[in-house]
């Protein structure tokens, strides 16, 4: 094997798409998927590649520093792509400490383990930290986040991600750890846990349940198809410059209400419903606390320096996503049980 790459959070939404891409594209890399399998981690996401000779799953919790050191010493990765995180803003509002533990302390444990393993020879090593555009805060109606935008996180989730970004840069400047960071906009696509807006709405529409839209639905997000994010990660991992940050976005802004209306149209078609039928399920609910108004990313650095482009138009991406959820009802049904049902009841039923 030419290289050993440790991907954290590979059983989650974005991680599983990245693991599949790397396993398929680089047969001479050894791909290690380190994941503790929280509610968001699901090995079903990777059934199609689990028997491959260049793929290994390791169950491990990044909040355990000693365990990380042991895993790094045993497997000796040359590259780390770090996605493991608590990722849902609403959960961060009800349980911020879980976000500090995983996103901040977990990241520091990985940085320490990489430093310990690589300190005598940085050559060919890379610690790639996957982050979010939410660290930049909230925009008004104009402007974009660039790599120079000051950090201004406003939710426990984004503050924990901002903190982890700072730690990664601190390990670079203080200990020379070879790092790269990317900050991406909202992802959508197959295998996303149905607590996030798009899969939640798809699931509710198929069951004729109300679609909860926070506030007036005027908040704006920039949506990127998950495989386009995975392609950007592959490019940045291999060609990004040491110590640099790259923004990744879809140049695809939607207010939540327009997005949900579009999704309703796609669902009406897919389910052979009368046009306008699914839209009747839209219901406006109490706004999220501290709800960021608008995120919008300027990805010109990534496009100009590394030649990345998103591959899908939004409509195509939405259609593909809807088709995947409707074709994979078993996957969806299996994740909407137990803990998720309690979470959903707490989050929406008292509104
Ligand atoms: P996800 O919640 O779907 O998956 C997270 C994965 O991390 C799960 O498999 C989970 O089991 C694992 N994990 C959680 N805590 C862990 C721990 N203590 N030890 C080991 N594994 C643990 O998240 P996602 O949406 O795929 O996001 C992946 C990364 O990308 C995150 O770092 C997130 O901040 C970032 N990101 C996400 C988006 C988005 O729109 N989803 C956008 C930009 C950046
Ligand atoms: P989400 O998918 O949670 O991503 P993020 O908060 O990281 O952007 O939410 C996307 C947008 O949709 C955000 O503005 C909040 C809103 N939203 C709803 O209106 N209703 C919902 O049920 C959810 C989950 C989100």
Average pLDDT over residues 94-118: 98
User: If pLDDT is split at 50, 70 and 90, which confidence band does 338 have?
Assistant: low
Measure 90 CA to ligand 1 centroid, in angstroms.
14
Query: What CA–CA distance (Å, rounded) separates 325 from 204?
Result: 12
Q: From 160, 214, 222, 224, give the residue whose CB has the most ligand 2 atoms within 8 Å, as the site to mutate.
A: 214
Q: Is-above-0.85 flag for pTM?
A: yes
Q: 36-61 pLDDT, tens per residue? A: 999 999 999 999 999 999 999 999 99
Query: With a 6 A CB cut-off, is 184 part of the ligand 1 pocket?
Result: yes
Q: Which residues pair with 130 in a beta bridge?
A: 182
Give the ligand at the shortest distance from the Cα of 187.
1
Measured between alpha carbons, how far is 308 from 299 in angstroms, rounded to an integer?
9
Q: Determine what percent of the chain is predicted with pLDDT higher than 90.
A: 94
Tell me which residue of 163, 189, 166, 195 sits closest to 179, measured CA to CA. Answer: 166
- Give all domains of the chain, ordered by start, each with its CATH number: 3-188+223-252+292-312+340-348 (3.40.50.720)
Lowest mean pLDDT among 164-173, 290-299, 309-318, 328-337: 328-337
Per cent of the chain over pLDDT 70 is: 98
On average, the pLDDT of the chain sits at 96
The pLDDT confidence band at residue 345, using thresholds 50, 70 and 90, is confident
Active-site residues, by number, are 133-134, 157
Q: What is the pLDDT of residues 120-171, one digit of tens each?
A: 999 999 999 999 999 999 999 999 999 999 999 999 999 999 999 999 999 9
Closest atom of ligand 1 relative to the 224 alpha carbon: 40
User: Which DSSP state fits 145?
Assistant: B
The reply to whether ligand 1 has any atom less than 6 angstroms from the CB of 247 is no
The pLDDT value given to residue 351? 47
User: Which of 6, 8, 15 has most ligand 1 atoms within 8 Å of its beta carbon, as the pocket-test mutant?
Assistant: 15
The verdict on the CB of residue 196 being under 6 Å from ligand 2 is yes
Alpha carbons 327 and 238: distance in angstroms, whole number = 34
- Residue 151: count other Cβ atoms within 10 Å of its Cβ: 15
Pairwise CA distance, residues 194 & 278, whole Å: 18
Q: Are strands 253-255 and 220-225 parallel, antiparallel or unpaired?
A: antiparallel
User: Could you tell me the strand order of the sheet in which 220-225 lies?
Assistant: 186-188, 220-225, 253-255
């Amino acid at each position: 094997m030419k290289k050993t790459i440790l991907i954290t959070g590979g059983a989650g939404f974005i991680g599983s798409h990245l693991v599949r891409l790397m396993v398929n594209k680089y047969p001479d890399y050894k791909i290690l998927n380190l994941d503790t399998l929280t509610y968001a981690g699901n090995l079903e996401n990777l059934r199609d590649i689990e028997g491959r000779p260049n793929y290994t799953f390791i169950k491990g919790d990044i909040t355990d520093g000693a365990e990380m050191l042991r895993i790094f010493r045993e497997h000796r990765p040359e590259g780390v792509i770090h996605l493991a995180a608590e990722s849902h803003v609403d959960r961060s509002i009800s349980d911020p400490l879980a976000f500090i533990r995983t996103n901040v302390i977990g990241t520091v444990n990985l940085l320490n383990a990489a430093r310990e393993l690589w300190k005598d020879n940085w050559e060919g090593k890379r610690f790639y930290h996957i982050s979010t555009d939410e660290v930049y805060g909230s925009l008004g109606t104009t402007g974009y986040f660039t790599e120079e935008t000051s950090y201004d996180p406003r939710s426990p989730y984004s503050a924990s991600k901002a903190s982890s970004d700072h730690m990664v840069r601190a390990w670079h400047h203080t200990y020379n750890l070879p790092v790269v960071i990317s900050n991406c906009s909202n992802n959508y696509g197959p295998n996303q846990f149905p607590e996030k807006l798009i899969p939640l709405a798809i699931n509710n529409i198929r069951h004729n349940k109300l679609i909860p839209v926070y506030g007036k639905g005027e908040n704006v997000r920039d949506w990127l198809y998950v495989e386009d994010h995975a392609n950007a990660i592959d490019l940045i991992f291999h060609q990004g410059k040491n110590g640099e940050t790259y923004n990744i976005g879809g140049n695809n802004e939607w207010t939540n209400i327009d997005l949900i209306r579009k999704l309703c149209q796609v669902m009406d078609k897919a389910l052979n419903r009368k046009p306008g039928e699914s839209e009747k399920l839209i219901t406006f609910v109490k706004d999220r606390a501290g709800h960021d108004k608008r995120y919008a990313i300027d990805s010109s650095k990534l496009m100009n320096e590394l030649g990345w482009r998103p591959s899908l138009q939004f409509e195509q991406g939405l259609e593909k996503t809807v088709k995947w959820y409707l074709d994979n009802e078993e996957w969806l049904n299996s994740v909407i049980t137990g803990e998720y049902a309690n979470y959903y009841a707490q989050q929406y039923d008292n509104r």
